[in-house]
Structure 1
Amino acid sequence: MATERGQFSSKIGFLLAAAGSAVGLGNIWGFPTQAASNGGAAFLLVYLILAFILAYPALMAELTIGRYARANVITALSELSPSPLLKRAGLAVGIGALTVAVFILSFYAIVAGWMLAEFISPAAQLLQLDGLARWVGSQSFSRNALMCGVMSALTIMIIARGVEQGIEAWSTRLMPALFLILLGMIGYVFTQAGALAGLRAYLVPDLTRLGDPALILSAMGQAFFSLSLGVGTMLIYGSYLRDTDNLPRLGAAVTLLDTGFAFTAGLLILPAIYVAQAQGISVFNTEGTLIAGPDLIFQVLPALFDNMGAAGSWLALAFFALMSIAALTSAISLLEVPVSVAVERCSMSRPTAALLSGGVIFMISLLIIWQFDALFNTVISLTTVYGQPLLGVALCVFAGWVLHRNQLLKELSNGHPEIESTFFWRVWPFYVKFICPSLILITFVQSVR
């Protein structure tokens, strides 16, 4: 290795960094939009179930492999077994995870740039910089490329500083700000006409929707995407944990933080949709489907803010500050995947690895912006709907079948000496070996037929 491996300095540092990875646009942009498009409370219920019966065991597989191997995703998976066949399989899965992480970040950086632009636009209006506000509000190649470049540069700068001074330090600053802004906006939206109808749609499920294959696939993809699973992010974060850290407890805490934040974000977005509808803004078509779909927060919410007069500009500023912070915390973790590979396998310095990896991903982002209609939704679908669940299966297989039971017990005993007598140990090794990959595959196959 070119440099000494970093390490999180505290449990709270890891939790905020891991939560920052999980709690991003997937929770505030993706989850509420998916919920609104897939039955509201029915989607919420399926998502919560899948988060704990599929995503948590898969998360534990990544954290355990990461701390056991103390290496990047490619090295970790390719060196779990001395078998040449398993080494090649691990190499292939590691490269697959790296590739998916790169392409997720390539579209994620574009969306992060949109968030930054939407933040700058009301700020420019408040400062009476009308020309800047109009340009930032446009959907031009130059606007999208510049905003994407700014968010990419911020991500590179943070990652270049390392684990403790970069990832951990910035996560502990950004996450509390994120939560406070979210709570403040929820309090305001709840005072508006129509919010109660949105709350009812979000919390009272239509049980007939629970078996909908499209809903189940969307909920599983959302659970894996929001927890950053299947791309090596949590594996590499696990490799930076201390031996004294209790992995099952930390994994449960991350899952609870992620699902709790997704639920809280829904308390903002779903009522806001119905507030917009109460103000005469078109939200749903005659079939009850969202008109805006994934563009919800760029169409419905700005229109809502415009209807609120002078307060609307401040609310737009606060909301898109929230979204920009959320985007940055997740982008940090995604960039760490290729950077850790470059540092450990190519003997690069961390700043060089961050600049090179971030630069390559930015070039891919520019290509997607240039050919947006052809590439954007395709990249999202291939990576989050298909790539992440299938890679999640592979990581469960490596944790359950390639790592021997004694190796798992020894690793999990670090930080949790009594693990062998717990319910977790009696269930999880068998579950991650047989049940979890089977459930993911069955759900996946049933949903894509």
Structure 2
Amino acid sequence: MTQTRDSFHSRIGFVLAAAGSAIGLGNIWGFPTNAANNGGGAFLFVYLVVTLLLALPALYAEVYIGNQAQKNPVSALGDACKNFSERLGRYGGVIGLCGAIMMLSFYTIVAGWMLSHALSAISQLIGLTDLSTWLATSSTERNLIFTPIFILLGAAIIHQGVNKGIEKWSTRLMPILLLMLFGLIIYILQQPGAIEGLKVYLIPDFTQITNPELVISAMGQAFFSLSIGVGGMMVYGSYMQKDKDLGKLVLSITALDTGIAFLAGLLIIPALFVAQHAGQQVFQDNQLVGEGQLIFHILPELFASMGSIGLVVATGFFLLLSIAALTSTISSTEVPVAYLVEDKNVSRRKATWLVSAVVLFFSMLLIAFFDVLFGAFIRVLTTILQPLSCLFYFIVVGWLWHRGNKLRDKSLQHGRKYLVMWGNYLRFVCPVLLTVVFVNVAILN
């Protein structure tokens, strides 16, 4: 039986859903951590440049492929490459699908940490001290409980469909996320030590911006925070009416995502210096103590030192991160779900729970071999798989689609010269820039 294809019913629904996909732990957890570890303002400057030169074009290419095909990423890339090699295109889509599963497998674990810390602060507020301590302490048992909970939350939204599930909940959760973020920033910036952190974050040391490790870190962060290279944006693009003004939509998504990352830095980095001002050790040899785990050690102690108001702030902060994680897991889950529904004729409900079971399996594998696999999964995804997928999208749009540059040729037919330049930029400049970065990665490794 043929499945009826769902879609977004409004422009704002698409923008908020796509922005929700991009705005997640990569922005609020990953970006401030990378910024603090890589020179603060210098990292911010390079991140903005990389986003403009590479991430924005990659996002456009991914959304464009999905929008033109009106199909899931595997079929969309197969169609785009059919005059060259349909099998190659479908293999590219499957690699992106595998990347989505990889992202979900570690993302749901981290999201579970966020949720448990939010509940820890609530437990402390109502006097359940022992429960609060257990919820705030990293353990295998806690991971085994909260990772499945978060997978179930995402599945409950996905199985409702695009309009009734993804669009409906994105338009509800994203405004809440923004309000909570602004409120927390206002509060943190009034605390002692915050101004020092603000200076570190906003004033770049330009001697650091040519550091290859900083550039690679910024590129990986840009692709990860925009959820590019795993097919999520492609499948969202396919749910929009064909030939909408994708340029404005992609600019809106990128602006929202970059803005949230910037605001997250305004929250987290001053908060780290507030903690340091209060006597906690935050940096050692110019690196964060505990790396990505820092916000689960330093910030809860900072919030606890503020008394009851600090526990309220902690609840808001970790709920904010939980919402951000949920909106991102939705898009990654939709990639394999859409493939199963459209290519394998599986019902949406069955596909959702099947994908969730696969994600749960790999998440449990990461939990069982955490020290070996967790960091490796993140590195492979953000520094290899996502950039390689983006390079493939550039090649598809610029070289393989009808054995030519689909975007440029279509623009010439309609006399839109600015899109001709844009098509040539995606065709020539972006692949070269990405290749240069990959060469630097190889040299460093």
Structure 1 counterpart of 2:22, which letter?
A: A
Residue 402 of structure 1: how far off its partner (Å): 1.7
**8 A Cα contact 1:246 1:412, kept in partner:** no
Residue 408 of structure 1: how far off its partner (Å): 2.9
Give the Cα separation in 2 of the matches to 1:316 and 1:210: 34
Residue 137 of structure 1: how far off its partner (Å): 2.2
**8 A Cα contact 1:73 1:236, kept in partner:** yes
**8 A Cα contact 1:8 1:14, kept in partner:** yes
Give the Cα separation in 1 of the matches to 2:212 and 2:55: 18
Partner of 1:33: 33
Structure 2 counterpart of 1:114, which letter?
A: W
Give the Cα separation in 1 of the matches to 2:427 and 2:61: 10
* Counterpart check, 1:219 vs 2:218: yes
User: In percent, how many aligned pairs have the same letter?
Assistant: 47
Residue 312 of structure 1: how far off its partner (Å): 1.2
**8 A Cα contact 2:232 2:332, kept in partner:** yes
Question: After the TM superposition, which of the residue ranges 1-10 and 247-256 deviates more from structure 2?
Answer: 1-10
SS in 2 for 1:198: helix
Map 1:335-350 to 2 at 5 A: 335-350=333-348
Residue 2 of structure 1: how far off its partner (Å): 3.7
TM-score by length of 1: 0.95
Give the Cα separation in 2 of the matches to 1:233 and 1:276: 37
Partner of 1:331: 329
**8 A Cα contact 2:112 2:147, kept in partner:** yes
Which of these residues, 289, 308, 314, is aligned with residue 287 of structure 2?
289
Q: Structure 1 residues 20 and 156, CA, compared in 2 at 3 Å: closer, same or farther?
A: same
**8 A Cα contact 1:36 1:290, kept in partner:** yes
Could you list the runs of 5+ residues in structure 1 that have no partner in the other structure? none
Map 1:311-330 to 2 at 5 A: 311-330=309-328
Residue 421 of structure 1: how far off its partner (Å): 2.9
Partner of 1:114: 113
* Counterpart check, 1:302 vs 2:297: no
**8 A Cα contact 1:64 1:235, kept in partner:** yes
Give the Cα separation in 2 of the matches to 1:382 and 1:243: 33
Give the Cα separation in 2 of the matches to 1:59 and 1:312: 38
Give the Cα separation in 2 of the matches to 1:46 and 1:130: 44
Give the Cα separation in 1 of the matches to 2:420 and 2:409: 15
Give the Cα separation in 2 of the matches to 1:145 and 1:69: 39
Partner of 2:437: 443
Give the aligned CA root-mean-square deviation in angstroms: 1.6
SS in 2 for 1:153: helix
* Counterpart check, 1:430 vs 2:404: no
Give the Cα separation in 1 of the matches to 2:4 and 2:368: 39
Partner of 1:356: 354
Partner of 1:64: 64
TM-score by length of 2: 0.96
Structure 2 counterpart of 1:299, which letter?
A: H
Which of these residues, 400, 412, 421, is aligned with residue 416 of structure 2?
421
Give the Cα separation in 2 of the matches to 1:422 and 1:118: 52
Partner of 2:77: 77
**8 A Cα contact 2:67 2:243, kept in partner:** no
Q: Structure 1 residues 92 and 406, CA, compared in 2 at 3 Å: closer, same or farther?
A: closer
Give the Cα separation in 2 of the matches to 1:265 and 1:81: 39
SS in 2 for 1:447: helix
Give the Cα separation in 2 of the matches to 1:65 and 1:409: 14
Give the Cα separation in 2 of the matches to 1:409 and 1:441: 22
**Corresponding pairs, count:** 442
Give the Cα separation in 1 of the matches to 2:325 and 2:304: 24
Q: Structure 1 residues 410 and 159, CA, compared in 2 at 3 Å: closer, same or farther?
A: farther
Partner of 1:166: 165
Instruction: Spell out, residue by residue over 1:126-147, the C-alpha distance to the aligned partner (whole angstroms, 9 max, x if none).
Output: 1222332233223222211111
**8 A Cα contact 1:229 1:388, kept in partner:** yes
Give the Cα separation in 1 of the matches to 2:429 and 2:276: 43
